[in-house]
Structure 1
């Protein structure tokens, strides 16, 4: 059942929030309400204290692109793709069309004294109209480059515009001419923000390069007040706090960075996970930050005493290839491109020694469990064992014939294992300084490895795009985990002997059950290095964009990110009992961060976020059931117009749900590789069925409450025993994901539609196909068999119906 089958009244029950992208937000002057505009043609007014919807303003007939609020919160203006500008009286909730254009105004702005309305269009033209008589009083011809920023000065005498391809321009409205500002005039600005008192003007330009900066100018005096650098990301919006103490920027990678104008430093990075335009607002007390998401507003509490503390150690521009930390968190060992190892006192934050012995770059380093020895490997093909206390070499181990990229020490005995470009793993006895065993199976150089806590299992990743699992007792290869087209960047083995690894294909991190050879992807990143925290709930990731993330992979989300590196992160290590993360980067800088526990979880101003879908026919005629990208299923009472039950259990978006014929169970399939069976009407989670690393796109139920089927992204169709909660059969009928599936009334036939543009009908028992046709009629919306099973009916996204006769009949 598609959402188009739901009445307008029923849709209003679900969509307290916007149903399309949120394009802009405005806070009222008393911080009690905020207003949003959306591509769903509406403007909505919200209560900030309760996060509840107060009023929906309807009038525009196309996407609402921009809004601007008067100084006293009584007048709101809006612009839309319907080519109108509307004026709203917020006391009476009435509106009138201010003017109709032959073009869309993409950004609109109301002056404080209600004298002017300013508007910019996509071709770069700027117009000012008199608010009272609607006359055009100012026109600036366009450069066919969109204006991304437009502000009035507090006295409403000047207007400032910014664009990524033109300089900042300041125009005097009364004279219709540009004011020369010596320094400001020669700066580009993709985003600009003027403080409320007009003292500071913040600007930035989003260039696709490693390093960018935010410039904060003392506007009256025309001099640079501060410059804040940021790396490897793009700024979506930029604001100055009402008290002029902070500059806030929403970043393309999903964070909000906060800089202090007092200390001229980055003080906090908030993880917002916002998508799309990421417009910002902050309350006068600096305690609440609002960020527009794709279809919602994220309300993030913040306190000024929440600061990101960090310090750094400088290795003089010698790339930090690897890091290791003593178990008591006293000493840090770093390996460098200049052939050295360096020992750092973490308490005093100073270097205490440099170890020389390698004749090429140091690639990996580890410390024995008793903290007495350090072992390092190098591009020079050697492994060196060092005395930690005396800072001298103990032995040089030579068996590899090419560079030794990785090594790991055993947790419970004095052994180590190394991996080399020569395709071999070697187990070493660190007491006897000799080779114990050589493991050979890879067909290319070994790039990284990990070892289990009980020293019985090792995992190695190679340039041959495989990960091999080894039995360290017998020396045999137990499993080949994957064989894809890209090498694994980094891996770790957790306490239960499952494997976590960074795999750049499609930007996923993965978790593998090494016993069952199952794989689950999570996250989305270009990961160069990863480490597990001690409780193995959190994963610390070093990314190629110089940002370090703390990832909760049980909840599949980022909880913190750490910024400060200006070059690619090459190594990460964690001081577990004091909650610090340490990263080493390409430019030789080692950063030490405290892991904060102070970010209050954000609140979303939506009942049900994501693309909501519905089941109209449920176990009760008064109940509607919705499911969404927000990972929940919700039951709504139509008569009482209220939410009854929220069903939580999935860890990723829910793609389909079905109710069994006897109305006792609801079955849901998700991108989290599981199917969940829920009881009705209670909504209790009864069983979670693993789909072996396959995303479930659709569900079909039979007429006798005995079996159900699921369609997977790989093209497989799984037949399940409903009573036994187990898999009965697996059939591959399609080359790509199965988007629609069902079971005939007689339970003899399965019908399915796929992303490979085929529709099929086949016998459940014999697997014989009775219909196999191409689908070339836009997106498949629904699929069904006729009551007599003689015809297959398909509907596309524009409601065209196609019918095929099944040859069996």
Structure 2
């Protein structure tokens, strides 16, 4: 079978709106399984939508001011919301109540701009405040506390001068492995911190960018895209960051973008951007005040512009790509959620090798000997079946061995990924072992409780 039939991303990108959800949302995020969408609202609440039924199945009502970010734990059990009311709330979707039980509440001394879970442990949280400070909050018993991530002053600056000239932190993200925290500043630089030690390991200056507004990573963690106030989206190939040493040395390096994406005609700014799961496509949500536009670029084809998706007259404010397939969720300034998909016509020729598609019906003429059974051929067919059956009976089945082979295969995949430069796939890595200590209860196989709401008729 052709590889293109197995991999939908080699066909095309989302092109049409599949459904629209009226939610009053300011932004929306797919969960890691792709079954649900979490929508943050300006009234301080958030909603969980089931994409199969197109219904809101949970309401997260706990903030008194607008929600600024929503994030999912790696197996979708926990949802975290941050708000301008200075609070971060972690919700447990496995609880049998609506709204779900609050798993934890974290309070700061300023509005929270964004908050995100560590990719490997939902008890480790990254928070960015509206005052331009970033914190790593650890809820585990042995590491409980919050640590501010502080930029190292440049050479030649004394402490007083460094405190006056310190740039505000404007965006913050874990990389896909969780080993590093990437922070964008108001001066257009990118700071990289080690998550375990909270020390700065790199500072990248990017010329001509202005204020950093947002980050996104390709799934392998080796490519970063940035959105800045100069109305340009840039893609970078990231270097390899060495583990922190006793001298706390760090890399001082200027990054050169491999691609620049912008709107050369309208000079439109960008609200958000998002990589496809395979990293071959990049979607940019335009900050056009009159229309809902999503621009798609083909990264695998040297960043060529692919198409512009038109979502109508309600301006776009956010965009997010599905974690597993060719689908995009975008939100409008009126609070509507648009789910984009890739409509593909049925190709019956893919299911039968000898099937030939035609534009219109034709009369089929049967050959005179088409369905005649040749005795010699039938005997060969029966003997071949008997031989195959005998071979299968002679094969030894080792259940334990099969399990060990699966485990060895997984280790081989991890080793292969490590040789290909993927971040955080070496199981003996000290940073990953630290993150896996005191694991959370976000296990695969958990079930969300089904809550039935009685109607007016009592049923």
Report the TM-score when normalising by structure 2: 0.51
Distance 1:438-1:402 versus aligned 2 partners, 3 A rule: farther
> Does the 8 Å contact 2:30/2:38 carry over to 1?
yes
Distance 1:438-1:543 versus aligned 2 partners, 3 A rule: same
Whether 1:464 and 2:131 are equivalent positions in the alignment is yes
Which of 21, 46, 50 is equivalent to 1:383? 46
User: 1:351 offset after TM fit, Å?
Assistant: 0.9
Distance of 1:582 and 1:372 partners within structure 2 = 21
Which of 134, 148, 161 is equivalent to 1:480? 148
User: 1:392 offset after TM fit, Å?
Assistant: 1.5
> Does the 8 Å contact 1:500/1:509 carry over to 2?
yes
> Does the 8 Å contact 2:58/2:100 carry over to 1?
no
User: 1:482 offset after TM fit, Å?
Assistant: 3.0
**Secondary structure class of the residue paired with 2:131:** coil
- Give the corresponding residue for 1:593: 297
- Give the corresponding residue for 1:545: 230
> Does the 8 Å contact 1:424/1:438 carry over to 2?
no
Whether 1:562 and 2:243 are equivalent positions in the alignment is no
User: 1:584 offset after TM fit, Å?
Assistant: 0.7
Distance of 2:72 and 2:111 partners within structure 1 = 20
User: 1:488 offset after TM fit, Å?
Assistant: 2.1
Which of 352, 356, 361 is equivalent to 2:18? 352
Equivalences for residues 744-759 of structure 1 within 5 A: none
**Secondary structure class of the residue paired with 2:226:** strand
Distance 1:539-1:485 versus aligned 2 partners, 3 A rule: closer
> Does the 8 Å contact 1:468/1:477 carry over to 2?
no
- Give the corresponding residue for 1:527: 212
- Give the corresponding residue for 2:278: 577
Distance of 2:8 and 2:68 partners within structure 1 = 25
Show CA shifts across 1:148-169 (max 9, x none): xxxxxxxxxxxxxxxxxxxxxx
User: 1:347 offset after TM fit, Å?
Assistant: 4.3
- Give the corresponding residue for 2:193: 512
Distance of 2:285 and 2:235 partners within structure 1 = 16
Which of 155, 167, 175 is equivalent to 1:493? 175
User: 1:551 offset after TM fit, Å?
Assistant: 1.1
Whether 1:373 and 2:58 are equivalent positions in the alignment is no
Distance of 1:473 and 1:413 partners within structure 2 = 19
> Does the 8 Å contact 2:117/2:126 carry over to 1?
yes
Distance 1:585-1:430 versus aligned 2 partners, 3 A rule: farther
User: 1:397 offset after TM fit, Å?
Assistant: 1.1
Distance 1:476-1:346 versus aligned 2 partners, 3 A rule: farther
> Does the 8 Å contact 1:419/1:447 carry over to 2?
yes
Distance of 1:452 and 1:440 partners within structure 2 = 16
**Secondary structure class of the residue paired with 1:482:** coil
Q: Which has the higher strand share?
A: 1
Q: Which has the higher helix share?
A: 2
User: 1:490 offset after TM fit, Å?
Assistant: 3.9
User: 1:445 offset after TM fit, Å?
Assistant: 0.7
User: 1:576 offset after TM fit, Å?
Assistant: 3.0
Equivalences for residues 233-312 of structure 1 within 5 A: none
Distance of 1:356 and 1:570 partners within structure 2 = 21
User: 1:412 offset after TM fit, Å?
Assistant: 2.4
- Give the corresponding residue for 1:56: none
Coordinate RMSD, CA, aligned: 2.6
Distance of 1:582 and 1:598 partners within structure 2 = 15
**Secondary structure class of the residue paired with 2:278:** helix
Report the TM-score when normalising by structure 1: 0.30
Equivalences for residues 141-156 of structure 1 within 5 A: none
Distance of 1:553 and 1:578 partners within structure 2 = 14
User: 1:387 offset after TM fit, Å?
Assistant: 0.8
Whether 1:455 and 2:159 are equivalent positions in the alignment is no
Count of matched residue positions in the alignment of Structure 1 and Structure 2: 254
> Does the 8 Å contact 2:273/2:283 carry over to 1?
yes
From the CA coordinates, give the structure whose radius of gyration is larger.
1
Distance of 2:150 and 2:70 partners within structure 1 = 21
User: 1:416 offset after TM fit, Å?
Assistant: 1.1
**Secondary structure class of the residue paired with 2:150:** strand
Distance 1:370-1:384 versus aligned 2 partners, 3 A rule: same
Distance of 1:437 and 1:486 partners within structure 2 = 31
> Does the 8 Å contact 1:402/1:420 carry over to 2?
yes
Distance of 1:548 and 1:585 partners within structure 2 = 11
User: 1:403 offset after TM fit, Å?
Assistant: 0.8
Gaps of 5+ in 2: 1-6, 152-165, 240-252, 304-459
Return the structure number with greater relative CO, CA threshold 8 A, min gap 6.
2
